[in-house]
Structure 1
Amino acid sequence: MWDSESESAGGRDYSNGVLTSSKHAVKTDGFEQRGQSWYVATDVPTDFLVQIGDSSFHLHKYPLLSRSGKMNRVIYESRDADLNKVLLDDLPGGPEAFELAAKFCYGIAVDLTATNISGLRCAAEYLEMTEDLEEGNLIFKTEAFLSYVVLSSWRDSILVLKSCEKLSPWSENLQIVRRCSESIAWKACANPKGIRWAYTGKPPKVSSPKWNEMKDSSPSRTHQHSVPPDWWFEDVSILRIDHFVRVITAIKVKGMRFELIGAAIIHYAMKWLPGLIKDRAGMVAEGSNSSNSNGSSSSSSWKGGLHMIVVATKDDIPTVQAKDQRLIIESLISIIPPQKDSVSCSFLLRLLRMANMLKVAPALVTELEKRVGMQFEQATLPDLLIPSYNKTETLYDVDLVQTLLEHFLVQEQTECSSPRRESFSDKHMYEGTQRGNIGIPNAKMKVARLVDSYLTEVSRDRNLSLTKFQVLAEALPESARTCDDGLYRAIDSYLKAHPTLSEHERKRLCRVMDCQKLSIDACMHAAQNERLPLRVVVQVLFSEQVKISNAMANNSLKEAGESQYQPMISNRKTLLEGTPQSFQEGWAAAKKDINTLKFELETVKAKYLELQNDMDNLQRQFDKMAKPKQSSGWTSGWKKLSKLTKMTTLETNETSPRIPNAEQTRKAPRRWRNSIS
């Protein structure tokens, strides 16, 4: 007897799921089992033995020959007239299916259910129980039960598809998998408003709801909760991965929303890939966020459906071998919808982590990396900390993050070149600035903060080379960072973990940072950081002085505009009082350092002047010593003349600035003649 969900099948040669065939049947009371052997309860001795694995069936030839074409060929085409034994180890469905087929041949009532119909249908095809031998043979009756009963029921379709896992390739060739998949897809894509059954809170004894039971209930019984769009997740997740792929593919063809398909994929991965996440609660919350776009309850609240018919419940983690997990990951990658937000970036990164660990096909890994690059701004730091499974020196896979960042930049460049995404170009520092949403960081800024945090974390690894650090830090354009504090923290962390760096290497490391983009607190920390090169410290001090001077000047101008009679000293005092204590202390220390540098500079200038005077004195003494003892009158007169000319010019400029130049010119030759005479 089939369960209460199945349709009534009266008038189809079987009543209430009991399949009988009394024509030409041997009178028997049924089968009885003794150990691994089955015997027919009849007075007629058996003359034929069918061996299937460890089970043996002691039967009669005539009932089998009358309904099985294969038995006809095996017996009559054999040259052995006394053939009384046959091996059927390759019979689909095994001993269970053959037992039902043998009972049908003997006219014994057979209970058709969703759990045995697929095996019996394949066994009937294997035994060639066609209409050519007898009207209403087993193939016809099992096919009718599949078409009219199973495919009209949600629960039976799931069960039959689940039972087909052990019937390949027979179930594929007989289109059982395809028909069940399309039936499930059609029901999953139906309007949830038309579903009128209670799907949660039912005890195990209550059967699953009837798909075709759409009768309008009385007002007292119509008080039910709204059906969430993810009601079908748990039932579909019990399927094997290849059948799950068939169902999801059929659902895509029906036009279901891509975010709902992505949520179903996450739910399936949560169940069959226990190593995907550390705690199951996180993925449940993630799946519910992805699927409950209409504010409905999450899939974790689903209690009905197939929980009463499967062995593994939601709280039981199935055991999956590494080979099977690799197949699951490869299959899930191939069916993820191509839309950007169909699944979360966190799920993609966790899937990528397992793909690298299980050595999934490189082409699928590359495809997954591109998918991560499409929504890289949604990633979090814990998801990026992927261990290096390729036996590299570093603890974390830095090359993988570099690859993901490259895919992100390529995607951003493509979007920037598109006329519809001009707002994401590098010249726009923030999204939506034209609409007034100033302060909302764009994708590149989010990624820049994420990369800075990642660099800070991986910089503690002493095996991380300076080149990898520098390449990853410089991968983003300058416009992606409005503040380099995160980059400074990463550089400082790298310097702590690598104390043996040379001066040249430290300068090279600090080139990735722009001192003008550091905040006041970062500048104060950098000014006292002994690990930084001296030149970088000077640049930081200069940048800090410029920022503080600009801030004080702007504030002074603002206060002067508000109150023109307020003195500058009070404005400066108000500015200092309004700044944090750490800012004031840092400014005092910076100002002290600047005054010290100025004093040292003045000292150097004074010493330079003293040295210049000493040099002039030595030059004059040298000239006197080099003067000849006896010089001619003309030479001495000429030197006196030049000396007197200089003195006269100076005296004239100082004492008589108003005397015309012509008079001075007349007096000069008179002195010249006097000196000559």
Structure 2
Amino acid sequence: MNASGSTSLSASILSSPLSSPNVTALLKIKIISWSQETGLPASVCVHVANRIFNLHKYPLFSKSGYFNRKLTESNEIKLPDNFPGGPEAFEMISLFIYGSSTLVDPFNVAALRCASEYLEMTEEYTSGNLCERFDIYLNQVVLQSWEDTLIVLQQCQNLVPWAEELLIVSRCIESLAFMACMEILDPERRRDQPVVTLEALSFQKWSDEMVQEVLSQDVWIKDLIALPFGYFKRVIASLRRQGMKEKYVTPIVLFYANSILSDENGRKEDIAMLLKGILDLLNMGEKGSKVIPVGFYFILLSKSLKLDLDKEYTLKLQNQISGVLHMAQVEDFVETESGTGGIEMEIIENIFSTYALFNMCGNNSPSPYNFVVAELWDSYLTRVASDMKMELKRFMELIEIVPVSCRQNHDHLYRALDIFLQMHPELSQDEKSTVCKYINCQKLSQEVCVEAVQNELMPLRLIVQALFIQQLNTHKALKECSDSFRYTHNGDFSGSLTSSRYAHSKSQNLVESPCDLQDTRNKPLSFLIQKDLSSQKPELHKTEYESTSFRIQSLEQQLMTLKRTLQLQNTSKKGGQVSTKGELEGRTMNKRRTPIGQMTNCIGTVNFASQRKYASRLLKVFRRFSLFGRTKPKRKQSVTSIRPKSV
């Protein structure tokens, strides 16, 4: 068997008739010939279902233990209605009794073997009897072929219990499991693509398209999932018993379950029974739950709710989902069809409550998974927040399912609250403040924080908090940009920014600064500066080093002048007297030796109203800085010969 060359038998296995008009005509010829040779009439009448066979006593007596006993009592025998194979099988066995060759193929061998066993056609009565012949055919022909074994196993459905007692079913199942293991090992390396594993499935969204793509590559899986559930369950057990790894076994079970869920014509009771069996087949322990795609669990859960399965099974699914909740997506969740008061939402709430109870409560060092689950829950809240029937108290209860401490980012929570407030314009300011108390503005992204400041639906308390956080972010951005200049000038950097990249660098590209290495998500000003420089940053040549050093010192003087101007403006606004020119120069001389990094003290005191003007001026300075080294100086000067002018 090979997946690349095998033909799927899963669609339908055609049943060839056990007998045909040619067989019936040949049997009549044999009976007439026997009468002519022996001069004895056909004195035995055998009833099989709705047919009557007139046969001779001696051939039946000599080759069948069953007829050997019955013919001592009467010459008229009636076989039971459930005789294996029916009149067709008996007709072919009768042909063999009269010495003719029996036509055997995978479609009729199981019925013939069961019928010959019922008639006791064993070696005890004649050598080379039918039971032995059919066993040889099964072992040496059928069980060596994937397709023939599947055909025989399908035919055994109508041969219960004889096929089970004769171990035909067991032998076929063991043979299929063995060949499936060989297919995965693929010793001849004929496979174009590896067999699908649970690890591969866990990173894909579960869908019918994905399933069909896999089945088109691994046709042997498609054949297995076409088996009746009773046989399929035994094949899975045999695969595990023969050593197939669980990462290969479980996908087969998942695909089988998917075929059940996709069957729209099946009876509800049958599907419910099959789903229960599937849940028993899955490795539902801790190890299995970590690799089975969580999207598949939600599909099973959704189908279970529609079929109204026992609460025992739905609860089992909920517990399994809560163990892999960090791998889920909002799109996987059960669709809420009956509103926020429906069973679907209650199920989702129970799943998250179970996860929070065992993973979030009383945990001093929360797992990174907790942050993922908290964000997932807030994303789900954005769905249910649009329900106009959702009450304030109920919505607050939903928010509190996940502890606030496990929310690393509050963007989705803000979105959910924003939608809820839009759906409930009648809420008072006090009610808005109550429901928005869960938002921590420090955990909002820069974009959402700006949006919150401008959102008229938000309570005043939240807007003020967001405004304050925005101001702190701006101050922090200014300080970091100041530190980056100090680093560029001195080659020495002390503070919150560190970088081994620049510590021993010999590059003369002085435009690049540690500010580029920082996360700019919450630093609007530094992000604008960085974006501006990224499009203008020149490539400094080694010959332009001296000119660049001179311009850096000039830039230092400009920044110092800007610092003094800002200090002077702040002093004037406080009602103090403006310092005289002499006093100003005196202060300048006293601070002349102060490292440039101490400008942070001034920058940190810039009030919120003057930040926009200050940022504009600072951008102009940065643009001048980005042009360093683009043009060569008119005359080459030594770096050591240049000194900054006294201010």
Please tell me the TM-score bracket, short chain as reference.
Answer: 0.5 to 0.7
**1:371 is aligned to 2:320:** yes
**1:399 is aligned to 2:346:** yes
Matched ranges for 1:502-541 at <5 A? 505-541=431-467
**1:356 is aligned to 2:342:** no
**1:147 is aligned to 2:139:** yes
Q: Is the 8 A contact 2:298 2:333 kept in 1?
A: yes
**1:159 is aligned to 2:97:** no
* Equivalent in the alignment of 1:331: 277
* Equivalent in the alignment of 1:250: 238
**1:117 is aligned to 2:105:** no
Supply the distance in 1 between the matched residues of 2:373 and 2:390 (Cα, whole angstroms).
21
| Secondary structure of the corresponding residue to residue 42 of structure 1 | helix
* Equivalent in the alignment of 1:173: 165
How far the C-alpha of 1:384 sits from its partner, in A, is 0.7
Supply the distance in 2 between the matched residues of 1:252 and 1:548 (Cα, whole angstroms).
61
Q: Is the 8 A contact 2:452 2:463 kept in 1?
A: yes
Say which of 258, 279, 292 aligns to 1:343: 292
Pick closer, same or farther for the CA change 1:65–1:474 going to 2, 3 Å: farther
**Higher relative contact order (Cα pairs below 8 Å, separated by 6+ residues):** 2
Supply the distance in 2 between the matched residues of 1:386 and 1:238 (Cα, whole angstroms).
29
Supply the distance in 1 between the matched residues of 2:67 and 2:430 (Cα, whole angstroms).
88
Amino acid of the residue matched to residue 437 of structure 2? R
Q: Which moved more, 1:228-237 or 1:125-134?
A: 228-237
Calculate the aligned-residue CA RMSD, in Å: 4.0
How far the C-alpha of 1:109 sits from its partner, in A, is 1.9
How far the C-alpha of 1:539 sits from its partner, in A, is 3.7
Pick closer, same or farther for the CA change 1:46–1:578 going to 2, 3 Å: farther
**1:268 is aligned to 2:256:** yes
* Equivalent in the alignment of 1:565: 560
How far the C-alpha of 1:490 sits from its partner, in A, is 0.9
How far the C-alpha of 1:474 sits from its partner, in A, is 2.6
* Equivalent in the alignment of 2:80: 88
How far the C-alpha of 1:179 sits from its partner, in A, is 1.9
Supply the distance in 2 between the matched residues of 1:239 and 1:525 (Cα, whole angstroms).
58
Percent of counterpart pairs with the same letter? Answer: 30
* Equivalent in the alignment of 2:128: 136
How far the C-alpha of 1:487 sits from its partner, in A, is 0.5
Matched ranges for 1:385-396 at <5 A? 385-387=334-336, 394=341
Q: Is the 8 A contact 1:273 1:320 kept in 2?
A: no
How far the C-alpha of 1:58 sits from its partner, in A, is 2.3
Q: Is the 8 A contact 2:409 2:444 kept in 1?
A: yes
Matched ranges for 1:662-673 at <5 A? none
Residues 239-273 of structure 1: CA deviation (Å, up to 9, x unaligned): 11221111111111222222211222233334443
Q: Is the 8 A contact 2:441 2:465 kept in 1?
A: yes
Residues 170-200 of structure 1: CA deviation (Å, up to 9, x unaligned): 3233322222222221222237565559789
Pick closer, same or farther for the CA change 1:60–1:487 going to 2, 3 Å: same
Supply the distance in 1 between the matched residues of 2:390 and 2:70 (Cα, whole angstroms).
71
How far the C-alpha of 1:86 sits from its partner, in A, is 2.0
Amino acid of the residue matched to residue 332 of structure 2? D
How far the C-alpha of 1:108 sits from its partner, in A, is 2.9
**1:42 is aligned to 2:31:** yes
Q: Is the 8 A contact 2:301 2:317 kept in 1?
A: yes
Supply the distance in 1 between the matched residues of 2:176 and 2:435 (Cα, whole angstroms).
59
How far the C-alpha of 1:552 sits from its partner, in A, is 4.3
Supply the distance in 2 between the matched residues of 1:49 and 1:513 (Cα, whole angstroms).
92
Supply the distance in 1 between the matched residues of 2:482 and 2:44 (Cα, whole angstroms).
111
Report the structure number with the largest CA radius of gyration: 1
How far the C-alpha of 1:428 sits from its partner, in A, is 6.2
Amino acid of the residue matched to residue 58 of structure 1? F
Q: In structure 1, list runs of 5 or more residues that go unmatched.
A: 6-18, 20-28, 201-227, 276-317, 418-424, 430-441, 581-677
Supply the distance in 2 between the matched residues of 1:522 and 1:157 (Cα, whole angstroms).
63
**1:31 is aligned to 2:24:** yes
Say which of 241, 246, 251 aligns to 2:229: 241
Q: Is the 8 A contact 1:248 1:261 kept in 2?
A: yes
How far the C-alpha of 1:358 sits from its partner, in A, is 1.9
Q: Is the 8 A contact 1:374 1:407 kept in 2?
A: no
Q: Is the 8 A contact 2:93 2:112 kept in 1?
A: yes
Residues 315-369 of structure 1: CA deviation (Å, up to 9, x unaligned): xxx9544333323322222222343454322222212222222233433333332
Say which of 420, 427, 441 aligns to 1:494: 420
Supply the distance in 2 between the matched residues of 1:487 and 1:496 (Cα, whole angstroms).
14
| Secondary structure of the corresponding residue to residue 31 of structure 2 | coil
Residues 5-64 of structure 1: CA deviation (Å, up to 9, x unaligned): 9xxxxxxxxxxxxx9xxxxxxxxx95249xxxx9676335655555555x4142326244
Supply the distance in 1 between the matched residues of 2:407 and 2:617 (Cα, whole angstroms).
28
Supply the distance in 1 between the matched residues of 2:561 and 2:162 (Cα, whole angstroms).
95
| Secondary structure of the corresponding residue to residue 115 of structure 1 | coil
Pick closer, same or farther for the CA change 1:489–1:113 going to 2, 3 Å: same
**1:473 is aligned to 2:393:** no
How far the C-alpha of 1:488 sits from its partner, in A, is 0.8
| Secondary structure of the corresponding residue to residue 89 of structure 1 | coil
* Equivalent in the alignment of 1:590: none
TM-score normalised to the size of structure 2? Answer: 0.60
Q: Is the 8 A contact 1:466 1:509 kept in 2?
A: yes
Pick closer, same or farther for the CA change 1:89–1:578 going to 2, 3 Å: farther
Pick closer, same or farther for the CA change 1:41–1:139 going to 2, 3 Å: closer
Supply the distance in 1 between the matched residues of 2:407 and 2:145 (Cα, whole angstroms).
57
Q: Which moved more, 1:136-145 or 1:478-487?
A: 136-145
Supply the distance in 2 between the matched residues of 1:468 and 1:176 (Cα, whole angstroms).
61
Supply the distance in 1 between the matched residues of 2:179 and 2:253 (Cα, whole angstroms).
18
Residues 389-435 of structure 1: CA deviation (Å, up to 9, x unaligned): xx676467122222222444466479xx9xxxxxxx76367xxxxxx
Pick closer, same or farther for the CA change 1:183–1:385 going to 2, 3 Å: same
Amino acid of the residue matched to residue 462 of structure 1? M
Q: Is the 8 A contact 2:154 2:227 kept in 1?
A: yes
* Equivalent in the alignment of 1:616: none
Q: Is the 8 A contact 1:259 1:343 kept in 2?
A: no
| Secondary structure of the corresponding residue to residue 59 of structure 1 | strand
Q: In structure 2, list runs of 5 or more residues that go unmatched.
A: 6-17, 36-40, 193-215, 490-555, 567-602, 604-610, 620-647
Say which of 365, 369, 379 aligns to 1:443: 369
Q: Is the 8 A contact 2:261 2:303 kept in 1?
A: no
Q: Is the 8 A contact 1:459 1:493 kept in 2?
A: yes
Pick closer, same or farther for the CA change 1:131–1:269 going to 2, 3 Å: same
**1:384 is aligned to 2:298:** no
| Secondary structure of the corresponding residue to residue 110 of structure 1 | coil
Q: Is the 8 A contact 2:47 2:78 kept in 1?
A: yes
Q: Is the 8 A contact 2:268 2:307 kept in 1?
A: yes
Amino acid of the residue matched to residue 423 of structure 2? A
Supply the distance in 2 between the matched residues of 1:42 and 1:579 (Cα, whole angstroms).
114
Pick closer, same or farther for the CA change 1:57–1:399 going to 2, 3 Å: same
* Equivalent in the alignment of 2:408: 482
Supply the distance in 1 between the matched residues of 2:376 and 2:428 (Cα, whole angstroms).
28
Residues 209-253 of structure 1: CA deviation (Å, up to 9, x unaligned): xxxxxxxxxxxxxxxxxxx99563123222112211111111112
Supply the distance in 2 between the matched residues of 1:137 and 1:50 (Cα, whole angstroms).
21
